[in-house]
Structure 1
Amino acid sequence: MSLFGTKLFTWWSGELVGKDGFGNRYFRTKSGHAKRWVIYKGQPEASKVPPEWHAWLHYTTDEAPIHGVEHKPWEKEHLPNLSGTPYAYRPQGSVARGGQRAAATGDYQAWQPE
């Protein structure tokens, strides 16, 4: 379905359920509550959906996390997938980072068949 078609379907049949911290809006059908979907803020990227909303979208839970969920102190904040962006992880020595790999230390011995 095109973006225009999705917006028209949402206007005609959709009921806003909630919004997440990224600005994504979550909907369900007005009658029957059988279908659930998200309209992304900005570029559509599935990894921008936080875990609690992902569970609701995929019918793992019936209750939408409208008021959020209690996070444990050890949990990190949800981040979308940054691969392919300037913020992607590039370890020390990565070619994409422009670095050089550390020189071999000489402590490696290749296996020799007998």
Structure 2
Amino acid sequence: MADIGTRFFTWLNGEKVGEDQFGNLYYVAKKRASDKAAGQREKRWVVYKGEPEASKVPPAWHAWLHHTIKDLPGEADLRAQPWQKEHQPNLTGTELAYRPPGHVLKGGKRDRATGDYQAWRPE
């Protein structure tokens, strides 16, 4: 949920242009003569549904937000490819975060070297 300042700014200055499958809303700044005269790019932003997390922005919308593509993503752009995985939130700092073998929070014990490794020694 966006804070009150972001919602107020968006209400005053934004024009909604789309929504993604996660419920995030995408906006552009309302057209002003001064912006066009100055040659500025249009301002684009996202208002996240729920916790603000940048990894929830699908690739096509990310490209649009960063002016990589000019036009809004179409249905074909938003369809997931068969090799793409479903979104998973960033788990860093949570109990579900990845911890490799030997991590201090996973016992701190590493397997012994198997002998296929030879340490480098300077001559």
Write 1 or 2 for the structure with the bigger share of helix. Answer: 2
Percentage identity across aligned positions? 59
CA distance, structure 2, for counterparts of residue 112 and residue 36 of structure 1: 54
Residues 103/8 of structure 1: CA separation in 2 closer, same or farther (3 Å cut): same
Q: TM-score, normalised by structure 2?
A: 0.71
Q: TM-score, normalised by structure 1?
A: 0.75
- Structure showing greater relative contact order (alpha-carbon pairs closer than 8 Å, 6 or more residues apart): 2
TM-superposed CA distance for 1:83, in Å, is 1.6
User: Does the 8 Å CA contact 1:17/1:66 hold for their aligned counterparts?
Assistant: no
TM-superposed CA distance for 1:70, in Å, is 3.3
User: Does the 8 Å CA contact 1:48/1:81 hold for their aligned counterparts?
Assistant: no
TM-superposed CA distance for 1:7, in Å, is 1.0
- 1:26 maps to which residue? 26
TM-superposed CA distance for 1:91, in Å, is 2.3
Q: Structure 2 matches for 1:1-12, cutoff 5 A?
A: 3-12=3-12
Further displaced range: 73-82 or 46-55? 73-82
RMSD over aligned Cα atoms: 2.7
Instruction: Return the letter of the residue paired with 2:24.
Output: N
TM-superposed CA distance for 1:61, in Å, is 1.0
Aligned residues between the structures: 113
Gap runs ≥5 in structure 1: none
User: Does the 8 Å CA contact 1:29/1:36 hold for their aligned counterparts?
Assistant: yes
